[in-house]
Amino acid sequence: MNKVTINIDGRDITVKDGATILEAAKELNIQIPTLCYHPDQSIKGSCRVCTVEVEGIENLQASCCTLVRDGMKVRTNTKRVRDARKKVLELIIASHNDNCLACVRSENCELQALSKELSMKETRLEKIVSNVSIQDDNPSIVRDSSKCIKCGRCIEVCHDVQGVGAIYNLNRSFNMEIGTPLGKDLSEISCVYCGQCINVCPVGAIYEKTDIDRVWKALEDEGKHVVVQVAPAVRVSIGEEFGMPPGSILTKKMVAVLRALGFNKVFDTDFTADLTILEEGNEFLHRLNGGGTLPMFTSCSPGWVRYIENFYPELLDHVSSCKSPQQMFGALAKTYYAEKENVDPKDIVVVSIMPCTAKKAEAARDEMIDSGYQDVDIVLTTRELGRMIKESGIDMISLPEEEFDEPLGISTGAAVIFGASGGVMEAALRTVYEVVTGEELENIDFVNLRGIEGFKEAVVKVGDLDVKVAVVNSLMSAKKVLDMVKEGKADYHFVEVMCCPGGCIGGGGQPIPGTNEIKRKRVEGIYNADKKLALRKSHENPAVKVLYEEFLEKPLGEKSHHLLHTHYVDRSN
């Protein structure tokens, strides 16, 4: 590729042809402020905050969308540039509901940070803030248009990454806003509650519907036995809420802090992830040998389940009937565990900590009451747990490490990797291989299924059979497979689908920012956590073995069928 040399603020830099001024400046460690720019999205060039002077061009240029030319001379820090940026920001602030004191994104807000960076003072412009219009008639997502700066990032992720297209820009010019069609709530259109729009929003215009206060209330209720389960992906990201690098494995400190918060038992969704592998692995073999519908799709990602229910209901037979690990946990906590511990299930409150906003909606599904009660009572995102810990004043990082409670806290490395795209498939293959062949699997690392790429495939020899598998993440990638299946062009046996880009580590409830760079580090954390464990295959989980002996009897048995499996609904209309 051709190289060009340009001069920025008096320093020369050689970059590849086709780079933007912003990228070139970064190489020189010159920080040009940005607002609509997002490293993983298309260039929007709409906010003009990144403006710079280019010699020979009269108007200021937006550096995020101006390509370098050989010999170009750029000034990023002149009075004219600084004044122009301030003017732009002043206009944005004039139409922004800036009540930072009561905003979820305070101290993690790109607009607030920019305002500080540019030393903004009180604006002289008249405030014209759109009426605070909160849209939250659904279990997961809140939209507040009075905070929206109209960058369009949420639209891009919803249309181009998730293929849902629930939101779009409405009206024009001064009245332009980002929203849902016909003033409907997200629950009335095809939104899948993935929360990816939250993760890319630079400000506090979209956030999860918070349930923190319900958890506090349960914890203070003497009559309640409150148990908590934590999803695999949370342990490698919760640290980010406290300034630790992404991918730091904080499993044991997280257990300690949950106990300190007052939960009666601290359990692990990994336990039911292992259980899922046994149920789903057996379901897969059952379909394979019994002429069942193939390919079989995994079912642990509720955003994905809602997507196929909304858009491809004719293919619902392909979806595994297994409940997600979260829901299996809830159903067992209020039956098996209640019996074992002799606690009345009506007094048990099951709280989940999830990297996911769609999990809130999943827990609220009508049919998730197989224990005789609502199986999972309250779901918090990773971010909400972070806030709860901050509210409590406990310093998680300095707490001594603690272990999960038994028996629903015992798990294997196969369960940890559920948190990353490819992990469920890898975990399933580790087990299916050994169940089918009766031999020990030597190389248990299915490296080519790992990573945040949207579409991965592999052929795995299991006994005499070549098992063809695919792993997809993000709903646009899922759509590709669905269309292939529809056209009869998919010869896969088993497909893992995760709604969120990169899998649960990139979930809509995870710490912000969650750029691809950060996701890769979380993925690394996940596989490191797996490697450190002695047991790395789900069927070797001793607590799961006991669960079958004492309670469930066998995979796909009657009790499993009742508590651990579910059905789906055509929601296409």
Which of another protein, ligand SF4, ligand FES, none binds 162 (CB below 5-8 Å, type-dependent)? ligand SF4
Q: Give the pair of three-digit tokens for residue 411.
A: 């798990």
Task: Indicate whether 512 belongs to the interface with ligand FES (CB under 6 A).
Answer: no
Q: Give the pair of three-digit tokens for residue 430.
A: 């580790």
Q: Minimal distance in Å, beta carbon 46 to ligand FES?
A: 6
Which of 263, 273, 222 is closest to 427 using CA atoms? 273
Query: Positive or negative CA dihedral for 513, 183, 132, 86?
Result: positive
Q: Minimal distance in Å, beta carbon 66 to ligand FES?
A: 9
Which residues here bind ligand SF4, judged by CB under 6 A?
A: 96, 98-100, 103, 105-106, 109, 111-112, 141, 147-154, 157-158, 162, 164, 166-167, 178, 186, 191-197, 200-206
Q: What angle do CA 362, 515, 384 make, to 5 degrees?
A: 45
- x/- mask, another protein, residues 184-203, rule CB under 8 A, reads -----xx-------------
Residue 561's DSSP bridge partners are none
Cα(404)–Cα(259) distance, integer angstroms = 9
By C-beta, is 163 or 204 nearer to another protein?
163
Name the 3-class secondary structure at 490: coil
Residue 53 identity: E
Tell me the catalytic residues: 280, 283, 300, 320, 359, 362, 367, 504
* Strand 378-381 to 455-462 pairing: unpaired
Which of another protein, ligand FES, ligand SF4, none binds 34 (CB below 5-8 Å, type-dependent)? ligand FES
By C-beta, is 109 or 228 nearer to ligand SF4?
109
Cα(157)–Cα(168) distance, integer angstroms = 11
* Subset of residues 506 to 565 that bind another protein, contact rule: CB under 8 A: none
- x/- mask, ligand FES, residues 257-286, rule CB under 6 A, reads ------------------------------
Q: Give the pair of three-digit tokens for residue 261.
A: 């918060």
Which of another protein, ligand FES, ligand SF4, none binds 494 (CB below 5-8 Å, type-dependent)? none
* Subset of residues 32 to 91 that bind ligand FES, contact rule: CB under 6 A: 34-37, 45-50, 62, 64
Which of another protein, ligand SF4, ligand FES, none binds 50 (CB below 5-8 Å, type-dependent)? ligand FES
CB 162, CB 475: distance < 8 Å: yes
* Subset of residues 121 to 180 that bind another protein, contact rule: CB under 8 A: 159, 164-173, 180
Cα(15)–Cα(62) distance, integer angstroms = 18
* Strand 494-498 to 465-473 pairing: parallel
Sheet holding 465-473, edge to edge: 296-297, 494-498, 465-473, 455-462
Only one of the segments 28-36, 420-428, 457-465, 544-552 lies at the binding site for ligand FES (rule: CB under 6 A); that segment is: 28-36
Residues binding ligand FES (CB under 6 A)? 34-37, 45-50, 62, 64
